[in-house]
């Protein structure tokens, strides 16, 4: 199968978050399974050019219609750690991708609307005929819209779209000028509640909503997060749209690259180890304590937090966990940077206050090498997120035999199974501790169970850690699921359309009597 990934990121050349890791990891695994994969990306001025091999001009003078005129682009081609990537560089006074940042410009919706338009023009003008376009997040939400409303009549009638949402919080709200720029000049048609009209602002378009409505299939990054998006506030207003398109929506759990995250071959840790040589993990614990200046005379469990310090990650719980751990015979190590000034100031205050404590180290930054060592050395890793679409921290922790202590949200539910209370798993299949409430006692209970097991039943704790190492959260299984989705949509007779959602509501009763249709309308 011929698959083209269209995204705003691809690690390690363009990485602002987990999206880049997913795009790269999934593409790599799809190629391993025998499929042809190409990627189309913006050519940012600030991306990591040192990760691109053989960058050269592949297509000159790509003409992209824009506001009734044309913007010329150069398409460059290169290999990012073996993946074939095309980078689109527009030549215009707007300098859409020469801003020194990936995101955060006031005209981001216009920048990525242009990228989406240019990606389709590149496919059309270069006569590429992929079976499936896999688009990601709001930045490419207009691609399925334009494909159905415009490009299927200009040579792209056989392409089908899989659309993956990584974060519902950012949806790409914008105004009519985007429609005018890309050549979709019927505002009354698109400003419709069943097409692109924003659920909260009737005068705004929602690009993510457009991706949902017009794609052949929609995924998010874990099965439980898919449920949350439909039934809770996690959907950020798109729950009704997802309900109307539930027949083509599901969650596919993300994977991680075990070529990079594997304690047996990790070049960043001093003492590699495996499931069969688990005792060597303790040597990394000693190495971490020496590097961070933690006391090593009395052995204590190390509890770690690795990740962003922001509201999504449950910083109020992280802050409390530091002191709870210290007062309950555990050491605490934190590695992360804050996204808000107030949170940054709070944790710097804690770092200075605890600077003389021999059982605590707070590293308010991010260091890739140190992250690997902490995973290899810690006994438990804390993930107390308010919401977590998938989560990689707990998956990496499991691979390193570091027991996750997580809140039961999003992908954390799909990957961590409570040692004491998960009735759906056999005891030998359980791998961590889960708490569900966002209050302090709930987290304290989970940490206390882990610390208690470590002290009172060390063999049982070691067994729990090793059971986690047996789980396979590589990209192999997710890629297989995506191939099944691709196979399903590539045989559809036409590009996706919003027709199902646009039927009169009384025809969409989902098994209810027609007389009850009005109750659906009010939901």
Token pair belonging to 332 = 């605490």
**Which has the closest alpha carbon to 176: 150, 154, 194, 196?**
196
Q: What is the 3-state secondary structure (H, E, C) of 452-492?
A: HHHHHCHHHHHHHHHHHHCCCCCCHHHHHHHHHHHHHHHCC
The count of other CB atoms within 10 Å of the CB of residue 341 is 8
Q: What share of the chain is helix, strand, coil (3-state, %, to 5)?
A: 40, 20, 40
Q: Please state, in angstroms and rounded to a whole number, the distance separating the CA atoms of residues 10 and 122.
A: 19
Consult the annotation and say whether 15 binds a ligand: yes
Q: Please state, in angstroms and rounded to a whole number, the distance separating the CA atoms of residues 52 and 76.
A: 11
Token pair belonging to 506 = 């009384």
Spacing of C-alpha 324 from chain mean position: 30
> Are residues 259 and 268 in contact, defined by beta-carbon separation less than 8 angstroms?
no
Reported for 459-465, long-range contacts at CB under 8 A and 24+ positions apart, including other chains, are 461/379, 461/403, 462/278, 464/403, 464/419, 464/430, 464/431, 464/432, 465/278, 465/379, 465/401, 465/402, 465/403
DSSP string, 65-92: EETTEEEEEEEEEEEETTEEEEEEEEES
**Which has the closest alpha carbon to 146: 115, 104, 167, 105?**
115
Q: Which residues are annotated as a binding site?
A: 15
Q: Which residues are annotated as a binding site for ADP-alpha-D-glucose?
A: 15
């Amino acid at each position: 199968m011929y698959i083209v990934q269209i995204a705003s990121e691809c690690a390690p050349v363009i990485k602002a978050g987990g999206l880049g890791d997913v795009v790269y990891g999934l593409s790599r695994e799809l190629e391993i399974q025998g499929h042809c994969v190409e990627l189309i990306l913006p050519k940012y001025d600030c991306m990591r050019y040192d990760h691109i091999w053989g960058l050269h001009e592949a297509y000159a003078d790509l003409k992209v219609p824009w506001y009734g005129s044309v913007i010329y682009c150069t398409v460059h081609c290169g290999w990012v750690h073996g993946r074939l990537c095309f980078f689109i560089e527009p030549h215009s006074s707007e300098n859409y991708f020469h801003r020194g940042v990936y995101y955060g410009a006031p005209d981001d919706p216009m920048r990525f609307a242009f990228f989406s338009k240019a990606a389709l023009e590149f496919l059309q003008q270069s006569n590429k005929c992929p079976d499936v376009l896999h688009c990601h997040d709001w930045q490419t939400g207009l691609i399925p819209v334009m494909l159905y409303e415009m490009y299927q009549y200009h040579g792209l009638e056989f392409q089908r779209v899989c659309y993956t949402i990584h974060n519902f919080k950012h949806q790409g709200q914008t105004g009519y000028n985007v429609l005018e720029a890309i050549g979709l000049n019927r505002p009354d048609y698109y400003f419709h509640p069943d097409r692109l009209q924003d659920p909260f602002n009737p005068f705004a378009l929602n690009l993510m909503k457009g991706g949902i409505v017009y794609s052949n299939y929609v995924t998010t990054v874990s099965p439980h997060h898919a449920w949350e998006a439909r039934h809770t506030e996690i959907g950020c207003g798109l729950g009704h749209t997802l309900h109307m398109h539930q027949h083509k929506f599901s969650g596919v759990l993300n994977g991680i690259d075990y070529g990079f995250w594997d304690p047996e071959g990790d070049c960043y840790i001093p003492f590699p180890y495996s499931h069969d040589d688990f005792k060597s993990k303790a040597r990394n614990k000693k190495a971490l304590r020496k590097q961070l200046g933690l006391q090593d005379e009395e052995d204590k469990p190390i509890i770690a937090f690795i990740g962003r310090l922001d509201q999504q990650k449950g910083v109020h719980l992280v802050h409390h966990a530091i002191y709870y751990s210290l007062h309950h015979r555990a050491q605490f190590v934190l590695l992360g940077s804050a996204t808000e000034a107030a949170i940054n100031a709070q944790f710097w205050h804690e770092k200075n206050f605890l600077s003389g404590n021999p059982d605590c180290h707070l590293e308010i930054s991010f260091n890739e090498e140190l992250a690997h060592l902490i995973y290899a050395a810690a006994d438990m890793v804390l993930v107390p997120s308010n919401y977590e679409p998938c989560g990689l921290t707990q998956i990496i922790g499991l691979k390193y035999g570091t027991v996750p202590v997580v809140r039961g949200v999003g992908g954390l539910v799909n990957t961590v199974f409570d040692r004491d209370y998960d009735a759906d798993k056999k005891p030998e299949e359980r791998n961590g501790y889960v708490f569900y409430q966002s209050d302090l006692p709930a987290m304290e209970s989970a940490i206390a169970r882990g610390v208690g097991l470590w002290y009172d039943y060390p063999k049982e704790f070691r067994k729990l850690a090793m059971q986690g190492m047996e789980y396979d959260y590589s990209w192999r299984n997710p890629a297989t699921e995506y191939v099944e989705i691709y196979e399903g949509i590539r045989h559809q007779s036409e590009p996706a359309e919003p027709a199902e959602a646009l039927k009169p509501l009384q025809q969409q009763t989902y098994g209810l009597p027609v007389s009850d249709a009005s109750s659906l309308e009010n939901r």
